[in-house]
Amino acid sequence: MFGFAETPEWQQAAQEDVLIADVVFNLPLERPYSYAIPEPLRGRVQAGQRVLAPLGRSNRSVVGYCVGVRASEKGQRALKPISELLDGEPLLDPSMLELTRWIGERYLCGWGQVLDSVIPAGVRRKSGTREINAISLAEGSETEEVLKAPRLTRQQKSVLEILLKEARPLPAAELCERAGCGPGPVNTLRKRGLIVAERVRTEVAAAEQRDVEAQEDLLMNEQQVKALDQILRPIRVSEYETLLLHGVTGSGKTEVYIRAIREVVSYGRQAIVLVPEISLTPQTIRRFRSRFASVAVLHSHMTDAERHWQWQQIASGDIQVVVGARSAVFAPTPHLGLIVIDEEHEPSFKQDSTPRYHAREVARRRCQDEKVPLILGSATPTLESWLRAQRRLDTLVSMPNRVAGRPLPPVVIVDTRSDPRLARGFSLGRAMFTAIGSALKAKGQVILFLNLRGYSPVVWCRSCGTGLKCPNCDISMTWHRDKAAIVCHSCDYSTSPPPQCPSCQSPAIRFLGTGTQKLDEEVQKSFPEARVLRMDSDSMKKPGSHDEALDRFRRGEVDILLGTQMIAKGLDFPNVTLVGVIDADTMLRQPDLRAAERTFQLIAQVAGRTGRGERGGRVLVQTSKPDDPAVKFASKHDFLGFAQHELAERHDALAPPFTAVARVIFRGPDEQRTRQTAIAVAEKLKAARQGELQSLRVLGAAPAPVVRLRNLWRFHLQIVGKTHELVRELWTTVEKTLTLPEDVELAVDVDPMNAR
């Protein structure tokens, strides 16, 4: 690969018994590059450390990860040497290193890309200080007004904008990095008194821990005891086994996790609990903190220094339980004993950028390697997990009943096509309106779910029928009345609504449909005496506001909680007697393989928010498709029926979980060139299907469902096969031969969850 005209000095020395380091870079490359380890670094370079090494024709020094050290083979060509060793100790142990290699292979991306994403920036940067300089806006400068201060440079302005947006103190280093500036602008702003800096201790986690009161174990019921027995078996013999804990909402799955973790901790081992980011609420955390002496929580909004500190604590073995979102699957526990994934059906366990891994599959692999069990918990398992359990690849553990014999709430389907109130433009149909009234009268609380934020999701010209789309994306603009702006929910582009239709110049622009803001308004008008709280990403911008809102609801200071997904997740409120789904159609309409599955999950999960107390509860679902199987099965709480029905459909469609899929997305500023590239690659793939690969299907190339996003055109193709190995073989064979135009980039998404 590297040819040299002259023979440099190091090359001569490199002839006899040289040690070689295999190095990977943050690039989509399949194989490691080999380098000679120069004399001064001998005995010091280890797998898992970062190095600087010359790369490519220019011989630019690039940071890479050493993934192996070995003796050179006889007759091997002399190699370029590593230029510098960056770490004293490996950042990862050999088994984690192997896990990252596997991720690159399984998800068709570079090993170095995986390492770069898995190792927290703070760990790489060694920001080990326990005190950091945190910058926040000075008192009196906390509003947009501050941007009007005289003589602000562009960078100063950008610093202020970031602080306004985040509304929390930011470490100086992070702030500068995000604003793309050095310390200068920050210092100037400080001198002008617009911002303040303070030294902050980062040992937040330890402080929080002390506030939680220890709690006794609950007395488990028979169903929980039986489930735990099944889980303890592989724990006791240190064996890998995946257990699918299928327990209806409110069946007491958490207590089972806790007991299983207790067993693991008693052996001096650690457990990792993965929860969806949005469920990382104080309520969840308290449940674990009250039962274990040392719990580490990995939030996505931790600073680099905090993350580094946590990483070290975990690696030292002092932590018993790690609770965190997706990336906590990489927590460097020295003696892992168990991984639990709660709400395993949540799409957020799949990463949406390279490496596009699914935490469940990574956890499965890690548990296999480390010979420990994996528990997947859900009331609505994914069909992937369900099929594995059906095929006895994994063990099914069932908890079909709620604790204390509480029934699941009755679910009533309301047909929106014949509702007189909906016909008059309201969003609360007659049944919904009446049910809210009676729930409030009986002093019960109400949750209303609507999956669209903003005021109106459609901006439409009544004269010519044109819907207004974002200029950068192929996506409808949403009217946000509070900001008097139309906003693109994909790229955040926002502008005032045009006085005239851009196509026909008619002034007849109308806002159609209902988002959470409009629903909020209608609910307040309809029930003026009720205290209403809206929860969506617009109203919950400030960190902590989400938790605060849930606390207020729990304390009974709010009667009606309405919002998006945010309120559908694992919350336990005994006083909720009514849950309303305002529009189940929004999910069903998605052009997505999993639309039915998501609709079922959503209804079952929101239904799980009620009937948890002694007062019982019920669920109303408004839909124009009352006969849709997903809606019907959900209304009967019939997961098994739904799974059977949907699996049959997927089987007939040769779709996952019966097949493995890799989606290849092409992006570029030029429509024609992007399209042509996608088509050419699809043709190459089709032509390369020889021998065993003949069974593979290549679908497309075709425009992606969102054909333009952030000013880039998007085309995609899909490789569908019986196994991931076959799909990988076809892709890697063809990928090697590809040369893309400079302005077209491609992304590979294995097991895609996002159909955009």
| Residues in binding contact with ligand ADP, number by CB under 6 A | 15
Q: Is residue 247 involved in binding ligand ADP (CB under 6 A)?
A: yes
Whose tokens are 């309520």? That residue is 283
Q: Applying CB under 6 A, does 220 fall inside the site for ligand ADP? A: yes
Compute φ and ψ for 58, nearest 5 degrees.
-75, -15
Written as one string, the DSSP assignment of 378-391 is ESS--HHHHHHHHT
| Residue 565 binds: one of Zn ion, ligand ADP, none (C-beta under 5 to 8 A by kind) | none
- By C-beta, is 380 or 674 nearer to ligand ADP? 380
Among 136, 254, 378, 427, binds ligand ADP (CB under 6 A): 254
- Each residue 535-574 as x (binds ligand ADP by CB under 6 A) or -, in order, gives -------------------------------------x--
x-or-dash string of contact with ligand ADP, 403-432, rule CB under 6 A: x-----------------------------
Least CB distance from residue 320 to ligand ADP, whole Å? 19
**Among 59, 316, 503, 711, which residue sits at the site for Zn ion (rule: CB under 5 A)?**
503
Residue 504 contact, options Zn ion, ligand ADP, none, Cβ 5-8 Å cut-off depending on partner type = Zn ion
Which of ligand ADP, Zn ion, none lies near 463, with the C-beta cut-off 5 to 8 A by kind?
A: Zn ion
Residues touching Zn ion, count (CB under 5 A): 15
Q: Does 494 bind Zn ion (CB under 5 A)?
A: no
Element (H, E) at 537: none
438 binds, among Zn ion, ligand ADP, none (CB under 5 to 8 A by kind): none
Q: How far apart are CA 42 and CA 19, in angstroms?
A: 8
Judge if the upstream peptide bond of residue 439 is cis by omega within 30 degrees of 0. no
Please report how close the Cβ of residue 621 comes to ligand ADP at its closest, in angstroms.
20
Q: How far is CA 190 from CA 130, 136, 482, 490, 626, in A?
A: 23, 10, 33, 35, 60
Residue appearing with tokens 């890998």: 240
CB of 254 to ligand ADP, least distance (A): 3
Amino acid at 268: G
| Residue of 136, 202, 224, 385 interacting with ligand ADP (CB under 6 A) | 224
Q: In terms of C-beta density within 10 A (0-12 exposed, 13-18 middle, 19 or more buried), how is residue 3 classed? A: exposed
Measured from the CB of residue 240, what is the shortest distance to ligand ADP in angstroms?
24
Q: Does 221 bind ligand ADP (CB under 6 A)?
A: yes
Q: Which two tokens stand for residue 474?
A: 């192929």
Q: Could you tell me how many helices (H) and strands (E) the chain has, helices first?
A: 24, 30
Torsion sign over Cα 499, 503, 504, 508: negative
Cα–Cα distances (Å) from 33 to 20, 66, 102, 118, 731, in that order, read 10, 9, 17, 20, 21
Q: Which of 169, 171, 252, 337 binds ligand ADP (CB under 6 A)?
A: 252
Phi and psi at residue 634, in whole multiples of 5°? -65, -35
Strand partners, 660: 721
Contact flags string 419-458 toward Zn ion, x per CB under 5 A: ----------------------------------------
Q: Give me the sheet containing 321-324, strands edge to edge.
A: 295-298, 321-324, 270-274, 336-342, 374-378, 242-247, 395-399
CB of 227 to ligand ADP, least distance (A): 10
Half-sphere exposure of 172 (CA within 13 A, CB side): 17
Residue 237 or 504: the one with the smaller Cβ distance to Zn ion is 504
Helix (H, G, I), strand (E, B) or coil at 43: coil
The nearer residue to ligand ADP, 403 or 655, going by C-beta atoms, is: 403
**Least distance CB 40 / Zn ion (angstroms):** 53
DSSP symbols for 103-170 = HHHHTTS-HHHHHHHHS-HHHHHT---SEEEEEEEPTT--SGGGGGSTT--HHHHHHHHHHHHH-S-E
Instruction: Please tell me whether residue 149 binds ligand ADP under the rule CB under 6 A.
Output: no
Q: Which does 218 bind (CB under 5 to 8 A by kind): ligand ADP, Zn ion, none?
A: ligand ADP
Position 344 contacts ligand ADP (CB under 6 A): no
> Cβ distance 650 to 612 under 8 Å?
no
Instruction: Out of 174, 255, 304, 306, name the contact with ligand ADP by CB under 6 A.
Output: 255
Which one of ligand ADP, Zn ion, none interacts with residue 332, CB within 5 to 8 A by kind?
none
Q: State the nearest-atom distance from the C-beta of 666 to ligand ADP, in Å.
A: 42
In the complex with ligand ADP, the residue whose CB is nearer, 403 or 412, is 403
Residue 249 found at the interface with ligand ADP (CB under 6 A): yes
What's the min distance (Å) between Cβ of 344 and ligand ADP?
A: 12
Residue 33 or 257: the one with the smaller Cβ distance to ligand ADP is 257
Interacting residues of 274 by C-beta distance below 8 A, sequence separation 6+? 324, 325, 326, 328, 329, 339, 340, 341, 342, 349, 359, 363
Determine how β-strand 485-487 pairs with β-strand 33-36: unpaired
- Contact between 278 and ligand ADP per CB under 6 A: no
Q: Which stretch binds Zn ion (CB under 5 A): 72-80, 246-254, 485-493, 734-742?
A: 485-493
Cβ closest to Zn ion, residue 515 vs residue 608: 515
* Minimum distance, C-beta of residue 294 to ligand ADP, in the bound complex (Å): 22
Q: Give the strand pairing for 478-480 and 485-487.
A: antiparallel
Give the type of residue at 340: V
Q: Does 711 bind Zn ion (CB under 5 A)?
A: no
Residue 604 in contact with residue 316, Cβ under 8 Å? Answer: no
From 461, 519, 584, 662, residue interacting with Zn ion (rule: CB under 5 A): 461
Amino acid at 206: A
Give Cα 615 to chain centroid, integer Å. Answer: 35
In the complex, minimum distance from the CB of residue 253 to ligand ADP, in angstroms, rounded to a whole number:
3
For ligand ADP, the closer of residues 85 and 399 by Cβ is 399
Q: What is the DSSP letter of 555?
A: T
Do the Cβ atoms of 411 and 635 come closer than 8 Å?
Answer: yes
Residues that bind Zn ion (CB under 5 A): 461, 463-464, 466, 470, 472-473, 488, 490-491, 493, 501, 503-504, 506
Provide the binding-site residues for ligand ADP, judged by CB under 6 A: 218-221, 224, 247, 249-255, 403, 572
